[in-house]
A and B are shown apart, each in its own frame.
Chain A
Amino acid sequence: GAVVSQHPSRVICKSGTSVKIECRSLDFQATTMFWYRQFPKQSLMLMATSNEGSKATYEQGVEKDKFLINHASLTLSTLTVTSAHPEDSSFYICSTFLGTEAFFGQGTRLTVV
């Protein structure tokens, strides 16, 4: 079946540095990728929608300068957390649709120290 691969699965970074998270569709082309943030024992909150070849669409309250999204190819979308702070520590998940079914990456646990 369709597979979405997300990397890294876990990252620890120092406060003030930037972290890039990659999301790849392995056996299909994904023109749209969704980026979610999940807090412990809470729901997935949609942060932004990336579209191949165009600007990402951010949800209300999400800082576009802090969470940079790039979707340069049909199989790769990246989320860069810039100037990370401890409050950015969270679980980030990417997802895309194939038809009407959503497929998810395995998630990235970001810890900012």
Chain B
Amino acid sequence: AQRVTQPEKLLSVFKGAPVELKCNYSYSGSPELFWYVQYSRQRLQLLLRHISRESIKGFTADLNKGETSFHLKKPFAQEEDSAMYYCALSGWTGGGNKLTFGTGTQLKVEL
């Protein structure tokens, strides 16, 4: 079974402070990991994925297979980063490709 765990429901930081949103996963195969973001009153959208190894809006995430983690980081938080962040794992099940979400972390950046 595939599982994604985000231990923090809410993370509150001050503007300019570093941010780390934690994500751990469980999957028997070789996973594809994603971070999705949902801004207020907007649809869910892809922030970044581990295979591209890119930085989006200053965010980076490194897949650590040894620790089965895919934490999202940003060195200096901005007010516009306030949103709901979901870590997700894409894995193949008997019925096809399936995306499993973590419970999400609400990031609040305060001035």
- A residues near B (Cβ < 8 Å) are 32, 34, 41-44, 46, 49, 51, 57, 93, 95, 97, 100-102, 104-107
A-B contact pairs, 7 of them (CB 8 A): A32-B96, A43-B86, A44-B44, A97-B97, A102-B99, A105-B43, A106-B43
- Tell me the residues in window 24-48 of chain B with beta carbons closer than 8 Å to chain A beta carbons: 32, 34, 36, 42-46
User: Interface of chain A, helix or strand or loop or mixed?
Assistant: strand
**Would A34 and B99 count as touching, CB distance under 8 A?**
yes
User: Interface of chain B, helix or strand or loop or mixed?
Assistant: strand
The interface bits of chain B over 59-85 (1 if a CB of A lies within 8 angstroms of the residue's CB, else 0) are: 000000000000000000000000010
Chain B hits for A44, CB < 8 A: 44, 86, 101
Which of B44, B46, B95, B102 is the one whose CB lies under 8 Å from A101? B46
Chain A hits for B43, CB < 8 A: 93, 104-107
**Would A43 and B104 count as touching, CB distance under 8 A?**
yes
Q: A43-B86, A43-B104 are contacts. A93–B99 as well, Cβ < 8 Å?
A: no
Distance, CA A41 to CA B49, complexed state (A): 23
Residue of A nearest to B42 (CB): A106
Chain B hits for A93, CB < 8 A: 43-44
Distance, CA A10 to CA B54, complexed state (A): 35
**Would A102 and B86 count as touching, CB distance under 8 A?**
no
Chain A hits for B100, CB < 8 A: 46
Distance, CA A102 to CA B90, complexed state (A): 9
Distance, CA A34 to CA B86, complexed state (A): 17
Distance, CA A42 to CA B104, complexed state (A): 7
User: Does B53 sit within 8 A of A, measured CB to CB?
Assistant: no
Distance, CA A2 to CA B90, complexed state (A): 19
